[in-house]
Amino acid sequence: MAEPVIPKAFHDRLGNPYLVRDARPEDGAMMVELLNRVGHEEIYIADEAAQLTAEQESQLIGQRNADLQCILVAEQESHIAGSLEMIRGATKKNHHTAIFGMALFPAYRGRGMGRGLLSTAEAWALSVGVEKISLAVFASNAAAIHLYERMGYVEEGRRKGQYLIRGALVDEIWMARWLTRERR
Ligand SMILES: CC(C)(COP(=O)(O)OP(=O)(O)OC[C@H]1O[C@@H](n2cnc3c(N)ncnc32)[C@H](O)[C@@H]1OP(=O)(O)O)[C@@H](O)C(=O)NCCC(=O)NCCS
């Protein structure tokens, strides 16, 4: 029998174990708290706050289509450290692609947990037949860009001055990685 893609167990850079697993409805409130927190920091994601209430998030998690959507959390010592949401293209034309967003609570950043979340999402993507994964990142987000480059993502394009962050114009970079054969 094939190995299940999710959950996956990892160790962070400090040697402490953590688990990447599918989000459950009861994680909804923490995921909303995370988005509010990261949105409030201003410099990492476009949204200023979570778009959904905790109840709506829980509902979305419970009702997600597992062929189109992967919602993961990283969990350490029963605490949610961060989450990643990957969505596959829903039409015949873009069904081979997926996009994602991810974030960790500040206390858990810089420990390698981003890699655990993304590699688990990539395994899901491969298992459902996705060939290409893309993401958008602020050009000022050096830590995120470094992680993506280390995981094989390359810049495909840039929207100049797409965001105004704390008074400065910041480019939006689109990055992508082909999981299967290069088709370009
Ligand atoms: C982006 C994020 C998910 C990455 O996860 P993470 O677990 O912190 O990342 P990792 O520790 O696996 O890797 C970060 C890498 O960037 C490096 N890095 C950290 N700060 C850096 C900086 N200012 N400049 C360049 N590289 C930096 C780290 O050394 C590490 O590289 P290494 O693996 O070669 O040592 C996490 O930091 C986060 O949640 N940030 C806030 C939200 C966010 O930016 N989300 C992404 C939006 S596109």
Instruction: For residue 179, tell me if it sits in a domain.
Output: no
Count structural domains, the chain.
1
Instruction: For residue 149, tell me if it sits in a domain.
Output: no
Q: How confident is the model over 45-99, as pLDDT tens digits?
A: 999 999 999 999 999 999 999 999 999 999 999 999 999 999 999 999 999 999 9
- Mean pLDDT computed over 154-166: 98
Contacts of 109 (CB under 8 A, 6+ apart): 143
Instruction: For residue 65, tell me if it sits in a domain.
Output: yes
- Give the Cα separation of 26 and 101 in Å (integer): 20
Cβ of residue 11 lying under 6 Å from some atom of ligand 1: no
Tokens 């280390």, located at residue = 150
Instruction: For residue 17, tell me if it sits in a domain.
Output: yes
The whole domain housing 111 covers 8-130
Cβ of residue 106 lying under 6 Å from some atom of ligand 1: no
Distance 109 CA to ligand 1 centre (A): 7
- Give the Cα separation of 30 and 14 in Å (integer): 24
Instruction: For residue 117, tell me if it sits in a domain.
Output: yes
What SS3 class is residue 79?
A: strand
pLDDT value at residue 148? 98
115 pLDDT band (50/70/90 cuts)?
Answer: very high
pTM: 0.95
The CATH number linked to 87 is 3.40.630.30
